[in-house]
Structure 1
Amino acid sequence: MNADQPEFSPELCARLRDALLRAGYTADGVVDVLGGQAHAALGRGEPEPAIRATRDAGELGALIRLFLLGEPVAEVEAAAALSPVPIADAIDLGLLRVATEGVRAGLDLRPHSDEEGFWWVLSDLDSDQLGGEVPADHVLGVGHASLSLIRATSRRPVGTLLDVGTGNGVQALHASRHAAKVTATDVSARALALAKATFLLNGLDVELLRGEWFAPVARRRFDQIVCNPPFVVGPPRVDYTYRDSGLAGDDASALVVRQLPGFLANGGTGQLLASWLHVRGEDWGDRVARWLPAGTDAWFVQRDIADPGLYVGTWLRDAGIDPRSPQGRAKASAWLDWFDGNDVEGIGFGFVTLRRDDAMGAAPTIVCEDLRQAYDDPLGAEAADWLDRVAWLRANADGLLDTPFLVPPTVLLERVDTPGDEGWETTVRRLHRTDGPGWQHEVDELAAALLAGCRGALPLSDLISLLAAAHGQDEDELSGAALPMIRELVRHGMVVPA
């Protein structure tokens, strides 16, 4: 057996699953033992309340100390908690490692849940758990990026789904809820070994293929593709396979956006995380739009922009490298030199939603926009609805004036009034959608009056005629101003066809 590629057999995974279920090592079981306060403290990186809560929790307490708290456990206690998995097998596979105080976790094994249930996910220990830098073939756990892609992925039922760069397999786990068949790929043999163990542990049948990017599925097509690629931007190098592609700058994100639609069935959709450079003198939207192949609708949502110094420091710490150390300073210097040499002012990060349409009779819809405000609702449902809305706009491009529209009850008109010579004067009128991503649009007095009439009864042309007569405006000019606004509000779900 190759220790770098743990080979968890179906039989061992079945025994391990029995042990975890017997002990109650589930998402709910962990919360029940820790209690709300200790669980919240653990999330803040404060382990002591959780350690105290597990002292008298039997086998479940031992598993929590091992795999969630990184604490040593006496070998006899660990053996009881993992039975019927022999302790020697757990050590041989790297699930546990021998320590002076007994045994410690060799892998990260933790419950991960959604609204329908839970799974167990196997990954490598992070830099904090290791107490130092992670190895080059490190398999990342379920982090913020993974969780954000989970929330940004449409969960409408599909036949086939491809997870490119599966890592620990968490995207494929969620995909198993809505896809009849899931295929997962990765360039890392270690990632595939841990993902296979994760799937076996959860009793899931996932096709696993090894290779770079889309090479393992050449000439195949899928109804949906998800991808959390190694999107870290900078010099062309591979220090860590989970984050570095070997391509320069944002070429990894560009490659995925450019190639992904070619592996979609007609009408298929893709969701991915991506990064893009903000280059001096260049609009970021123009940059990413150039990546797209023909016949592809695309929605680029920018969630954050990092300055180069903050970006480099964040990723150094992520790998367990102290930016103050000689190694950290050398890496930071080379990285920042590359940014300076390529006129990089910032690094954008966000989500990309794509749809292939072979029968597209008009130009595709490509929208690049900022969504840096906080919001609560998952973006995946919104992305699916966004594609529906742009398809409706394309099909009804010549019929908007004949359409009755409706402002949903979740859309409010907010006003900002300031004191003036004649009392309060409205200086800002803002439409605010209170669900989904919480879109906001500022509108003028005439636009607010037009939208007030959108109650599903009269077509848009009649409302414009009434508005022109009431305010002494030219009807054609009002139509010319109203149509682009209506299209944008429809895309954002703030106005809907009645």
Structure 2
Amino acid sequence: MWRGLRTALARGGFTVDGVAALLGPGARAALDRGETTPARRAARNAGNSRDAGPAGTLVRLFLLGDAVPRAEAAAALEPADLDEAVAAGLLSSADGQVRAALDLRPHGDAAIPDAAPWWVLSDLEVGPATRTAGREHVLGTGAASLSLARATVRRPVGTLLDVGTGCGVQVLHSSGHAAELTATDVSERALDMARVTFALCGLDVEVLAGPWLEPVAGRRFDQIVSNPPFVPGPPQVDHVYRDSGLGGDGASALLVGALPAHLTEGGVAQLLASWLITSEDWTERPRTWLDEAARSAAPGGLDAWVVQRDVADPALHVGTWLRDAGVDPASPEGTALSERWLDFLAAEGVHAIGFGFVTLRRTAPDVAGTVVCEDLRQSHDDPLGPEIAAWLDRTAWLARHPGDALLDARLRVPDTVALERGLVGTDEGWEAVAATLVRLDGPQWRHDVDELGVALLAGCRGYLPLRDLVELLAVAHGRDPDELAAAALPVVRDLVHHGMLVAGEGYGSS
């Protein structure tokens, strides 16, 4: 049945490009805002009194949730059998009409050229017009899953594991760069939908049932991705897509600590995570997890980059996730749930909840590894994946230039970095009081630098070793070159980490 459905969807133009062409930019934008009338008009009539055909029927059926006459639906779904679709639970039938019982929508990734069309099967979206999410509710292409897809490193690998695959979104986005795909989930309902998603998309995926990493015990992968049930809350499972049952940030702690043991040497794991903030230092809890991760990586080393993308106070956190499950926080049910969640967070001493990405790389045994926790709440519209890939390259390059060895490197300031000057007015005119190095692309990192730093960076054009530049600067300013080098090296390492200084010979060189 699913092969026939795939044929019908492709032939009927129920694809990302086909739907965009049918609806037009105005109706498409309105649909994204939850306004269905413009899309419904376009789906009924493609313009100039021309019937929208099977594409219009499929849009009304699956994107708008309309009831469609059986004969019309059967024609749009041919060669798939309508009664088989009803029996499979994709559609419901009553009074000569059918409507979608599950969410089926086209999906795509512009970063994968010439990719075949994708379709994702999941439960109907939660909202006032549908229903409250059940315990086994399977999410579709939500904001969290798409953010992880945009943050994933897309380099060719042999084997890839998706832990907690849900309906299979991460596997789809990984199919363009991974030769062998494995997906796990504790929810059999989620795996059933993932199998359909993979079948519709023509993907050969190993699908395994079980909690956490149990289904792949003893195995290692070149890359691991995970959008787990990371939402901090009481130790119970109301909804499997968000609740781990471990309480607090236990799901994030478990995975961060355990994933390196399942990586090949040089393998990379990336996951969404949340952490409870109980002190002034938000990194306190993630760093304890990374200690366990380092032990898990042994005898190899560990590179780790924890990026905090958002912070919410407990009230905002609870309200957000209640609404996500279709519960009005002001309703009697919402009030009871809010009390329970807020009581739990208060007992844990939580004053905020952090959210972001964790990237882990298992290094060779002779590489100690680098651990960095950074706040990246500034605006960042570009996909984070290329920046994470570049961070891994820069970290590996720095590992090959430990200590004073960095002084032998030829570094340059890339064209994407600018120097900002802060000036204040005086009786003699404008006086410089601050200098800030700014990356104009990616995360737009900022570093304050003093005048000696400005002078040193001015010489970083990729021609002279850093050692020579430091010695010239020491002579010009009457400073001891060894003391100046000792002060400059930590700053230079930070700038390299953030892509504000790059190796003149390239990061692939030693």
Contact 1:70 1:129 in 2 (8 A): no
CA distance in 2: counterparts of 1:309 and 1:246, whole angstroms: 20
Task: Map 1:1-150 onto structure 2 (within 5 A).
Answer: 12-56=1-45, 57-99=52-94, 102-115=97-110, 116=113, 117=115, 118-128=117-127, 131-150=130-149
- Partner SS, residue 253 of structure 1: helix
Return closer, same or farther for 1:454/1:110 CA change in 2, 3 Å cut-off.
Answer: same
Note the 1:245-260 alignment, pairs <5 A.
245-260=244-259
AA aligned to 1:276 is W
- Give the distance between the partners of 2:108 and 2:153, measured in 1 at CA: 17
Query: How big is each residue's C-alpha offset from its partner over 1:65-93, in whole Å with a ceiling of 9 and x where there is no partner?
Result: 11111222222211111112222111111
Counterpart CA distance in 1 for 2:11 and 2:379 is 40
User: In the alignment, residue 469 of structure 1 is paired with which amino acid?
Assistant: V
Match for residue 284 of structure 1? 282
**Contact persistence 1:186–1:211 (CA under 8 A):** yes
Partner amino acid, structure 2, of 1:91: V
Structure 1 residue aligned with 2:164: 165
Secondary structure at 2:105 match in 1:
strand
Report the counterpart of residue 200 of structure 1 in structure 2. 199
Name whichever of 182-191 and 272-281 sits farther off. 272-281
TM-score by length of structure 1 reads 0.95
Give distance in 1, aligned partners of 2:166 and 2:367: 38
Task: Please say if 1:443 is aligned against 2:449.
Answer: yes
Q: CA deviation at 1:497?
A: 1.6
Provide structure 1 residue ranges, at least 5 long, that are not aligned to the other structure.
1-11
Query: Once superposed, which parts of structure 1, at least 4 consecutive aligned residues long, lie more than 4 Å away?
Result: none
1:284 offset after TM fit, Å?
A: 2.2
In structure 1, the residue matched to 2:266 is 267
Aligned residue for 2:127, secondary structure, equals helix
Following the alignment from structure 2 to structure 1, what is the Cα–Cα distance between the partners of residues 465 and 425?
Answer: 37
Query: Which one is further off, 417-426 or 305-314?
Result: 417-426
- Amino acid across the alignment from 2:287: A
Q: Counterpart in 2 of 1:470?
A: 476
What is the alpha-carbon distance in structure 2 between the residues aligned to residue 436 and residue 161 of structure 1? 26
Q: What is the aligned partner in structure 2 of residue 408 from structure 1? A: 414
What residue number does 1:392 align with? Answer: 397
Tell me by how many angstroms 1:253 deviates: 0.2
Does the 8 Å contact 2:416/2:441 carry over to 1? Answer: yes
Q: d(CA) in 1 for partners of 2:448 and 2:55? A: 54
Q: Is the 8 A contact 2:124 2:130 kept in 1?
A: no
Residue 507 of structure 2 is matched in structure 1 by: none
The corresponding residue for 1:381 is 386
Other structure's SS at 1:237 match: coil
C-alpha deviations, 1:230-273, integer Å up to 9, x for none? 00001101000111000011110010000000001111111110
* Identity value in percent: 61
Amino acid corresponding to residue 379 of structure 2 in structure 1: A
1:132–1:321 contact (8 Å) kept in structure 2? no
State the AA in 2 paired with 1:214: L
User: Any idea what the Cα deviations from partners look like across 1:198-236, whole Å, max 9, x if unmatched?
Assistant: 111111100000000000001111111001100000110
Give, in whole Å, the separation in 2 of the partners of 1:462 and 1:299: 32
One-letter code aligned to 1:107: L
Q: 1:65 to 1:428 in 2, by over 3 A?
A: farther
Q: What value does the CA root-mean-square deviation take over the aligned residues?
A: 1.4
TM-score, scaled to structure 2: 0.93
CA-CA distance at 1:468 after TM superposition: 2.1
Residues of 2 paired with 1:237 and 1:105: CA distance? 31
Give the unaligned 5+ runs of structure 2: 46-51, 295-300, 505-510
Corresponding residue for residue 8 of structure 1 = none
Q: CA deviation at 1:465?
A: 1.8
2:432 is matched by which residue type in structure 1?
Answer: T
Is the 1:72–1:99 contact (alpha carbons within 8 Å) kept by the matching residues of 2?
A: no
Residue of structure 2 in register with 1:368 after alignment: 373
Counterpart of 2:380 in structure 1: which amino acid? Y
**How far, CA to CA, are the matches of 1:313 and 1:278 in structure 2?**
18
Aligned to 1:127, the other structure's residue is in SS state coil
Structure 2 Cα separation of the partners of residues 107 and 423 of structure 1? 69
Contact 2:128 2:326 in 1 (8 A): no
Whichever residue aligns with residue 72 of structure 2, its letter is: E
| Displacement after TM superposition at 1:446 (Å) | 1.5
* 1:416–1:428 contact (8 Å) kept in structure 2: yes
Is 1:337 aligned to 2:343, yes or no? yes
Report how far residue 129 of structure 1 moved. Answer: 7.4
Aligned-pair CA distance for 1:335: 0.3
